[in-house]
A and B are shown apart, each in its own frame.
Chain A
């Protein structure tokens, strides 16, 4: 058995990976592109080094070819469809101090943890909007918003939706086994950054400051047999090419070891929040597209989601190329749909279209919106 991901990560030298990612030539990019195009009708899997070539500066002049191939692979695998979901924020309590986040414990904001009745009110509001797949989100507060709270809320939420995803603090393997039985279909745990100095720079206090606990979390999810595992980086914290390369390493490692799970990728870029920071490593739109296309070429079966952090115009361009799942009508505050629409957001959103408006736009783009593609009886066996 190969070592687990934490050991693999420790063996890597960030600086070497960063230098390597700049050294590719146009020929390397063409080889990687050729392999990806070939994979449309042959078994032709890209290697990590092909992915790095596609991310490199040498690939920038070939962005059109990257996007065309990405689109072909996406359509072949996922058809002319787009999954729709909405986030459901239950709490903005947080025991961490992360300098980019509006929920950090030192932020002077009104804190709220939804009660059972409030949660049901929010679920009903989402259901009325036509939403059937939710991403349950909380700030990270183990003591007040931990397993006892999830045990209370998840069965309520589960009654309203055909698929429930979860984005909360990293938990123990046994907790994930229990969460599956409570109705969780997918768990997203984003690493934010694989660069230790940057990670420690932004994550100052709380359990989130423990990089190892977070890096090992996807292994715990895989061992618990969670059906869909979400990986991601918060772009803007460290060099994007290098962080993306580590993310790809993590993905390939997970796919190889936990072969029964599906994988989903999230590629948020830092957005302004209340009391936030200046972005050290901004990811430009052009590079953002390159990054998403490179992941599609690396893994045609990878689900890639895009949130309403991104503006409508860019989303409408990106979605047909490589995105398989997107949110609409999102509120990023607990109670934001029905209970207290005035509360503070975790981050500001940039696409304010309602689910109905967004579905109409998808249809214009030649994509069928898919609201339901899962059911409660799937994935419960442990």
Chain B
């Protein structure tokens, strides 16, 4: 369980909605994942059409929608998309994505910080996709972002937690939820992120590109549950969970105590 803005979420898995073979497959997969928050690209939606092939099934499922600004290369474009999304989807939650590099879809830290600053002022709950840069994450938190979403590896790359050392610093320093977004290729990657103390992970390609997306969504759901449970109850090899400083006794500590 964790909280973004004033909303409590029970699932630690967020899902992306691109890359699925059909609306039906998307629906079944979202259900199997247990997710309560799904992101969708505003540019993909046909807002003039009543039964959009992505939007309509998600609205029926009743999951919370997190529109994203993918396609935007600048802060101005992202802000424009955000306003459109707020009006069309009746939500002030926003996943801010600005990637000017279409090859690896790397987020632009400068434009992202600029847009986040403005969007928070305009009343949005901003969840920015960003590089795994501890200072940038603090800066995003400082301007009022409701969470930070650093990348584990390039989007869609399945490489897992390549930015591990930086993610550890980000999690250690954060006062808002840290959601590891992008690059996770296997349930074990998601589990590891949660064991480390991430509040959640966001997955799309690893589920949508699996041979059986529905079963893979279930696997990610279980992995996230396992990771969160492990984190909560004190991992033996990680020095205990947050707030717990119990250290096992040993002959050396007995010697020190006797001094």
A contact residues vs B (CB 8 Å cutoff): 40-43, 75-81, 132, 162, 227, 255, 259-262, 301, 363, 366-368, 370-375, 377-381
Cβ B73 vs Cβ A372 within 8 A:
no
**Which of chain A's residues have a CB closer than 8 A to the CB of B21?**
80-81, 366-368
**Which of chain A's residues have a CB closer than 8 A to the CB of B154?**
43
Given contacts A375-B71, A379-B73, A381-B77, contact A81 B102 (CB under 8 A): no
**Which of chain B's residues have a CB closer than 8 A to the CB of A78?**
19
Cβ B102 vs Cβ A261 within 8 A:
yes
Cβ A260 vs Cβ B156 within 8 A:
no
B149-160, CB under 8 A of A: which get 1 and which 0?
000001011110
Q: Secondary structure at chain A's binding surface: helix, strand, loop or mixed?
A: loop
> Taking CB as reference atom, which chain A residue is nearest B154?
A43
Q: Which 4 pairs show the lowest CB-CB distances between chains A and B?
A: A79-B19, A80-B21, A262-B102, A41-B158
**Which of chain A's residues have a CB closer than 8 A to the CB of B102?**
260-262, 301
**Which of chain B's residues have a CB closer than 8 A to the CB of A227?**
73
Cβ A80 vs Cβ B19 within 8 A:
yes
**Which of chain A's residues have a CB closer than 8 A to the CB of B100?**
260
> Taking CB as reference atom, which chain A residue is nearest B75?
A381
Please tell me the size bucket of the interface on B: 35 or more
**Which of chain B's residues have a CB closer than 8 A to the CB of A255?**
103
Determine whether B232 belongs to the interface, using a CB cutoff of 8 Å to chain A: no
**Which of chain A's residues have a CB closer than 8 A to the CB of B65?**
none
Most buried by B among A255, A260, A367: A260
Cβ A368 vs Cβ B20 within 8 A:
yes
> Taking CB as reference atom, which chain B residue is nearest A374?
B43
| Chain A nearest CB, measured from B192 CB (Å) | 16
| Chain B nearest CB, measured from A261 CB (Å) | 7
State the CA gap A367–B25 with chains docked (Å).
11
> Taking CB as reference atom, which chain B residue is nearest A299?
B103
Given contacts A366-B21, A381-B74, contact A371 B185 (CB under 8 A): no
Determine whether B133 belongs to the interface, using a CB cutoff of 8 Å to chain A: no
Cβ A79 vs Cβ B209 within 8 A:
yes
Cβ A42 vs Cβ B159 within 8 A:
yes
State the CA gap A375–B84 with chains docked (Å).
11
B56-84, CB under 8 A of A: which get 1 and which 0?
00000000000000011110110011001
Determine whether B45 belongs to the interface, using a CB cutoff of 8 Å to chain A: yes
Q: Which of B22, B46, B53, B157 contacts A41 (CB 8 A)?
A: B157
Cβ B22 vs Cβ A363 within 8 A:
yes
Most buried by B among A81, A132, A374, A375: A375
Cβ B81 vs Cβ A377 within 8 A:
yes
